[in-house]
Structure 1
Amino acid sequence: MRKQMLTTAGERIAIDCDLPWVDELINEATAGERRDADAERATLAVRVESSSRPFHTTAWEPVTRGAWRRAKEVVLEDVCGSGFDLRLASGAERMDFTYRWRPKLRGQVVARLLPSRFILLARAALLQYPAMWRASLRDRAPLHASVCTAGDLRPLLAGPGGVGKSTLLMQEIADGGVAICDNICVSDGSTAWGLVEPVRVEGGSGRAMPHGRVERQLARRVPALVPDIIVSLRRSEDSVAVVKPCDPATAARSLITGTFIAGELRRYWSFAATLTAATGLGPAQAPVEEIAEHLAARLPAVEIVLPNRPGLRLSELLNRVEAIA
């Protein structure tokens, strides 16, 4: 059977949606990367049903407040505050995520008054968090980072949100480079697989999002890259960029703290822990620290302190690395 398929975070998601408005939301979230493909190749399936009835949980074992399990099935209410209930059926080869739109009154108000916030929550609940949790079963951890090409290098960009990663990515893409994602990827300590989502940048046209940003499709996206250098990014009020050596401990710390600070992942940790507690699958805690330390031990690293205004491109800044060495 052929269905719409999305490859994201290294996972293949078969998508089936009975609600047109949710299908439109999903299409926007997938940034034009849904493809007609054989559903048998999917590692997880996402189905949004039109029913608004609650999933049956009578006599099921409670896992925590708003979560129940029975055999290989799990039900979660109001996933991540999105207004969607979830039933997960876990199999050896594929996970089936079935959703129903059943918002509480507060969720209805949020969806109406704060549409950009609701859109981000819905994307996370329906697509992003399921893919990342499925990837965790392959010993991969989410990172608030991206990998792109910059000249002859494939830097892994680490650092907190708002420091300027997206701007650097877009500059390299405009110059013919490629990137795996805007902000979030999963990694096994060697390869990084990007999470499909629109890129959020300052200025221009597109859907308005928090922090004064707008969304655009990430052009020249590739599913995965193997990084060969870690770039820890900071921002200062100076007018000139600074490139300096970075030891493995500092590089790992930048990856770890940037990941746990990230607002995009704030609700992921409880989502993943609940599914792991209910199914017995996956790590009790995502191995972010172990993956970050493994990357930092393998790869050279530099720290770039960006100026208060956009200046040199990433590839130009990395040309200074040889001079440092």
Structure 2
Amino acid sequence: MGVRALLVQAGERLVVDCRWSPVARLLAEGGAGAWRPADGTEADVRVEVEPQHRPFDIRGWRPLARGAHVRDRSVVLHNACGSGFDLCLTVVAEQLQVRARWRPPARERIAALLLRSRFHLLVRAVLLQYPALWWAGHYGRVPLHAGAVTLGRSVPLLAGPGGTGRSTLLLRAVADGGRACADNLCVTDGRDVFGLVEPVRVEGGGGRRMAYGRSERPLPSRVDSLRPDRLVVLCRRPGARPSVRPADPARAARSLVAGTYMAGELRRYWPFAAALALGTGLGPAHPPVTGAAQELARLLPADELVLGDRPDEGLAALYGLVSRPVARTEERP
């Protein structure tokens, strides 16, 4: 079994070629039903998982940091993000090329056996997500921990720290006829949001079991990107009834920034992006998350949606919110 297929990740065309069946199965699952045929597609990011375990030849390369070496516009990361994979990332013209080899130290090998859900998430991150996130950042798109969904003619961007009920609320909206580009991770250019493909993790998902009592399922009716017309900040208050109130733009931006930095999915991304920026001279050493959040909060009307013990009960309040006229009419670029 192998994988040679395309994912549209963070607005980038990512083509994966993996002929090593143990990893191919993980990647096929991580694509959450969004894989497309790769034949004839020009890739922005190309990932090849090599079925060998030899180290990359770095003779003559310059040490960049502990576990990283650089030459020209190529960077080798040893045990990238603690995944057990060595990565050789090379910028060639307008394409990022990634070669991956499974070479885990003893600790990572044991963790891969004992902590299966952690291992699956790390493999998806270093092979399917982080390279596309970084290449999107090279073109000015900024990662956010948020999700966008259509509700009638409105497109709210749902923000808030993990555990507030965003995935549950978004899936209920999709089941009601909406379309979403992501429930968890996306990038933005200040106007549109581009989703990152991954399975949705919710209680009762029915698929692979993950942390916090959740399990996975594909995101139905997924689209590659959406243009939000309002920012909705979610917060959870046990015992409360769902309610909506206007949010101060500065507070809304702070929530979006804090939720992004609190996200466990991105915890290992920041040093990954910094190493590639330093080694290649491309892209920001640190993505301008604060600036992007402030711009979205400036351009979009912002509201706070309070959710109680059952986040799905907030869908009616969300519908009521998006049915009201937009009060702020500032033109967007």
* Bucket of the pairwise TM-score, normalised by the shorter protein: over 0.9
1:107-141 alpha-carbon deviations (Å, 9 max, x no partner):
01100000000000110011100010000011011
After superposition, the Cα gap between the structure-2 partners of 1:311 and 1:14, relative to the gap in structure 1 and judged at 3 Å, is closer
Relative distance call for 1:13 and 1:320 in structure 2 (3 A) is closer
Number of the residue aligned with 1:292: 293
The residue aligned with 1:276 is 277
2:211 maps to amino acid: P
**Residue type of the partner of 1:121?**
L
Deviation at 1:308, TM superposition (A): 1.7
Partner Cα distance (2:325, 2:236) in 1? 22
**What is the SS of the residue equivalent to 1:80?**
helix
Please list every run of 5 or more consecutive structure 2 residues that lacks an aligned counterpart in the other structure.
Answer: 328-333
- Per the normalisation by structure 1, the TM-score is 0.96
Aligned position for 2:57: 56
Q: Contact 1:273–1:285 at 8 Å: present in 2 too?
A: yes
Moved more, 246-255 or 37-46: 37-46
1:81–1:300: structure 2 CA closer, same or farther, 3 Å change rule?
same
- For the pair 1:94 / 2:95, whether they are aligned, the reply is yes
1:144·1:258 contact (CA, 8 Å) conserved in 2? yes
The one-letter amino acid paired with 1:148 is V
Where 2:38 maps in the other structure, the secondary structure is: strand
* Contact 2:205/2:217 (8 A) holds in 1: no
Task: Provide the secondary structure at the position in 2 that maps to 1:305.
Answer: strand
Conserved 8 A contact 2:242-2:317: no
Q: Given the alignment of the two structures, is residue 5 of structure 1 paired with residue 6 of structure 2, yes or no? A: yes
Amino acid at match of 1:58: R
Cα offset for 1:90? 0.6
Residue pairs, 1:232-311, within 5 angstroms: 232-311=233-312
Query: How far 1:244 moved relative to its partner?
Result: 0.6
1:323 to 1:92, Cα distance in 2 relative to 1, 3 A: closer
Indicate the residue corresponding to 1:319 in structure 2. Answer: 320
Q: SS of 2:287's equivalent? A: coil
**Which residue is equivalent to 1:195?**
196
Q: Deviations over 1:176-232 (max 9, x none)?
A: 110001200000110000000001110242100011100001110000000000000
Deviates most, 187-196 or 234-243: 234-243
Give the total of aligned pairs.
Answer: 324
Q: CA deviation at 1:86?
A: 0.4
What is the aligned-residue identity percentage?
Answer: 52
Q: Which residue of 1 aligns with 2:133?
A: 132
Q: Is the 8 A contact 1:239 1:309 kept in 2?
A: no
Q: Taking structure 1 as reference, are residues 310 and 294 closer, same or farther at Cα in structure 2, changes over 3 Å only?
A: closer
* Counterpart residue number, 1:160: 161
Q: In structure 1, what is the equivalent of residue 150 of structure 2?
A: 149
Looking at structure 2, the residues matched to 45 and 240 of structure 1 have their Cα atoms a distance apart, in angstroms, of 47
Q: How far apart in 2 are the matches of 1:94 and 1:317? A: 41
Distance 1:294 1:39 in 2: 37
User: In the TM superposition, what is the alpha-carbon distance from 1:15 to its structure 2 partner?
Assistant: 0.9
